[in-house]
Chains A and B, each alone.
Chain A
């Protein structure tokens, strides 16, 4: 029998506590700085050395927990007592780290009552760095090892560790920031106590005002947001359904091209549509110019405001609705409709009485998905909103504006979070209970009944003009990159590309990236490339744990994960700067905060594609591997992962591409050193430099297509043989 020991996590914790510098180093950890015992400078020393030589007593509990764990971590037998000691020591170590980190900050004690109790502390500390991180991981895995050895998680240390890691990272990177942000609503202001300040912030007329119903002014941003999200969701769902019906139920010739629609939202940077609309309907847009020169009419700035944002959102989110609905429409078992027709129902009656009701939960789902996307959308309102404010832009201006009012931002974000949560819970209710879509994996023979003529005509009448418009918007948007000044000087030029991506050679032949966009492009690509594998790995791990393991707290973990999906990007952005500005985790302005943001914003996508694929993979396959003495990790590596390749591709592509196109959260997190492409573009747009912005977007689109192709090539295909094995065929990824 194998004797397993917990020496590895112990060594990790020991390395972090004893050897490596505990705190974040100003210039990063250098090779010579890694060994941090015996340092003169307390900030560069390891925890043990700080406690021993610099009088930082608060590290002694951490060291003590480490010492306590050692005997139990050694490879000898497996008594129940050892397991308990291990768990307790791991838990104590974590607790000690967290408590000292929260209690002692840059100004000594973090809370006044601590100073009152223990007296002034004439010392301080900065955020944790490599040492602290390693130690936390080490103690975490000691704890999970101990729990597994006590029989939790079926005695499986890997599962236990995975759950610990997931739970820990959700707490640190989602729950904690969101709660910190929400607590900002309560900070007292001027003469107001916390409750007064809260009321003042939340009950703001700028949020709830209904003046627009009586006078010609803007309503509160809450109503604006709600109206916009409702209108966008309704229109996008209707359009998405038309496209889905045409793509699956008619003999329409250009179906392949329609499928292209599913890729568009993934690779389109968030303001391409907005820019396209400006170039068509803006003050110097094509339509306005024509109207002026032919009819002498001034169309004005109508595109800036509700109408424009709504139009842009419908363009942006129709593909999303289509993506959701095509699965729904395809998923309806043809035999249901065939049954209906054999029961003498007409095609119209079949559609109305069978097809439509079966699709209803799917429609509701699509509606809610778009609703939440619209709620969190930042790119379109910032480009086209004008004086029409929504929650996301209002939060942005509360933070970056002259006022720097975090309390107000927190209150707005709280309202937004509430709306998102309500929508999210509704969606779970609608979809959870009544999903009729029957994806059994069994070949369901039969043909879908053709659409009734009326429905077919309606679908075409809605979808075709829209498809045409979409193409025009995209073309215009891209054409803008190739003329000097849109609307005034139509001379073709590559000047915008040159300004963004010029390459020059010095006299001695060295290459200079002279264009203004290179810096942000490299940053974006490298951070996205770092984040994507982490996102995919963590997401699939979570999917596997959720789909395959049963343990206490599983539903809680699942709910917490899905909840991260409901938190809008703007909220996350504000929450991150508020939380990570100060120790114990002082990562604002670093690459870490951006990568963390990407990973935890996109995690749910990885989880969902993983869970979907996993649910089609016969569970007894992993169980067989486990009974064949494969370690859980080996089971994952040799059985689950090879069969999940399509899901891996999906997760990687999504994680990479979304990291490159996201803007709502990162706009708060970028710094001069780490500037992201999207933020660079939005700054150009705000300055009215459309040409360069569009040129950059075009380059991003091409890059992302290349990346998708490359990832698909790298991950490769599954080999399953000529007959596909029963129960072991995950759905192909449509990417």
Chain B
């Protein structure tokens, strides 16, 4: 396995999939740059798996084309695409040893058994499973099985590596360390990876780019920072993390800055091309500041207070509605029922098209 190898670019051009009347993926365009890790993120049933399987060649698109590198792969079968996939269930062959599992793809590609097994040993070492080759998959723990699945896919030096919710069968702690290993491996080997998950924190942690999907189409694509800080819709904002959804008005726009009125509050926020008129405002919970009653801001009353160790969480009733607030580094919890002044920190507030 050479570290200099770089994965290929993947281009989806107008690709879509229908099952009879059900549209699993509406025709969409997407380019995945070579050597990057892109996650497909979205709620269950939005078409992530279908999209991934179309890239793998396990599902035939009803329309559109798929290019890997510069080659049109649309009509090729899965085995001819030089794409590997790690399955949610791992799909390790239960009747073959771990080594045979990893060597399987190499033997399929016509390598001599001896050479294939040597390479497989090396791949097992890469994922930290040296010496486990003789076991059967059923004799490994979940995390180890996951690694075998990764090694089996990696050893073929695929031009694109696909993951379908690879960590969903692991416990929380293992999930965290495995995702870091996958990310490190991808960066070390310069792989192109498409990674499906429904867990936004996993997506934020591993991705170069995130593609948020909703109802069989792309809601927004961008870097993790872009998606978190500049969501284009309330859906993306709320899916990328906790967010308060408020309704306000743009009073005027000047030099790309909009004056936004939220009840009694007034802000200047980047206009993002929106015209004056009603607008949706998204405020992250950590961007809402609570001060003692009488300070500058909107009047509010705490209706729920929860101590979380590293921070405190409040629900505050205000003229704008109930707000969810995260207050960091707070020694004492403000009691329920106390009156507070509420201020917004423009850093964590964006306006989106209603």
| Interface residues, chain A, with chain B CB atoms under 8 Å away | 1-2, 149-151, 154-156, 618, 620-621, 623-632, 634, 638-639, 642-643, 718-728
Cβ contact of A724, chosen from B80, B108, B138, cutoff 8 A: B138
Cβ–Cβ contact A631 & B94, under 8 A:
no
Query: Does B75 have its Cβ within 8 Å of any Cβ on chain A?
Result: yes
- 6 other A-B residue contacts (CB within 8 Å) besides A151-B60, A627-B84: A154-B58, A154-B78, A155-B75, A621-B91, A718-B95, A719-B136
Q: B52-78 vs A: 1/0 string, CB under 8 Å?
A: 000011111000000000010011111
A628-B156 in contact given A722-B139, A724-B138 (Cβ < 8 Å): yes
Q: Which of A623, A626, A627, A630 counts the most chain B CB atoms within 10 A?
A: A627
Among B79, B84, B89, contact of A727 (Cβ-Cβ < 8 Å)? B89
Q: Is the CB of A639 within 8 A of B87?
A: no
Determine if B284 is an interface residue (Cβ-Cβ < 8 Å).
Answer: no
Instruction: Determine the main DSSP class of B at the interface with A.
Output: loop
A620 touching B87, Cβ below 8 Å: yes
Q: Quick check: is B42 within 8 A (CB to CB) of the other chain?
A: no
A3 to B111, CA, bound (A): 17
B178 to chain A, nearest CB (A): 18
Whether B78 pairs with A627 at a CB distance below 8 angstroms is yes
CB within 8 Å for A631 and B139 given contacts A624-B85, A718-B95: no
Please provide the 5 A-B residue pairs with the shortest distance between their CB atoms, ordered closest to farther: A628-B105, A721-B136, A725-B94, A624-B91, A620-B91
Q: Are B79 and A720 in contact (CB under 8 A)?
A: no
Question: Residue B332 at the A interface, CB < 8 A?
Answer: no
B190 at the interface (CB under 8 A from A): no
Contact partner of B58 (CB less than 8 A), chosen from A623, A639, A723, A726, is A623
Q: Assess A621 versus B93: contact at CB under 8 Å? Given A1-B82, A155-B75.
A: yes
B109 in contact (CB, < 8 A)? yes
Q: Are A639 and B93 in contact (CB under 8 A)?
A: yes
Question: Shortest distance in angstroms between A719's beta carbon and chain B's nearest beta carbon?
Answer: 6
* Interchain residue pairs with CB less than 8 A apart (7): A1-B76, A618-B91, A620-B89, A620-B91, A626-B78, A720-B94, A723-B138
Alpha-carbon gap, A627 to B80, bound state (A): 8
Q: Are A725 and B85 touching (Cβ within 8 A)?
A: no
B104 part of interface (Cβ distance < 8 Å): yes
CB distance B108 to A720 under 8 Å?
A: no
Asked if residues B138 and A722 are in contact (CB atoms below 8 Å), the reply is: yes
CA of A151 to CA of B77 in the docked complex: distance in angstroms?
A: 9
Q: Let me know if B233 is at the binding interface, CB within 8 A.
A: no
A725 to B101, CA, bound (A): 14
Determine the interface band of chain B, counting residues with CB < 8 A from chain A: 35 or more
The distance from the CB of A616 to the nearest CB of chain B, in whole angstroms, is 12
Partner of B75, one of A149, A625, A634: A149
Contacts of A723 in B (CB 8 A): 138-139
B152 lies within 8 A of chain A by Cβ: yes
Chain B residues with CB below 8 A from A642, complex form: 95
CA A155 to CA B58, docked complex, whole Å = 10
- B108-131: which residues lie under 8 A (CB-CB) from chain A? 108-109
- B residues less than 8 Å from A151 (CB atoms): 60, 74-75
Q: Which of A629, A724, A726 contacts B105 (CB 8 A)?
A: A629
Q: Judge whether B58 and A643 touch: CB under 8 Å.
A: no
Q: In the complex, which residues 251-284 of chain B have their Cβ closer than 8 Å to any Cβ of chain A?
A: none
Residue among B56, B87, B88 facing the most chain A CB atoms (10 A cut-off): B87
B132-144 to A contact mask, C-beta < 8 Å, 1/0:
0000111100000
* A629–B108 touching, CB < 8 Å: yes
Closest to A724 in B: B138
Closest B residue to A631 by beta carbon equals B79
Q: Chain A contacts of B350 at CB under 8 A?
A: none
**Residues of A contacting B85 in the complex (Cβ-Cβ under 8 angstroms):** 623-624, 627
Q: What is the distance, in angstroms, from B53's C-beta to the closest C-beta of chain A?
A: 8
Partner of A629, one of B87, B95, B109, B139: B109
How far is B84's CA from A2's CA once the two chains are assembled, in angstroms?
16
Assess whether B92 is interfacial by the CB under 8 Å rule.
Answer: yes
Do the beta carbons of A721 and B108 come within 8 Å of each other? no
Is B95 touching A720 in the complex (CB atoms < 8 A)? yes
Q: How far is the CA of A643 from the CA of B59 in the complex (A)?
A: 24
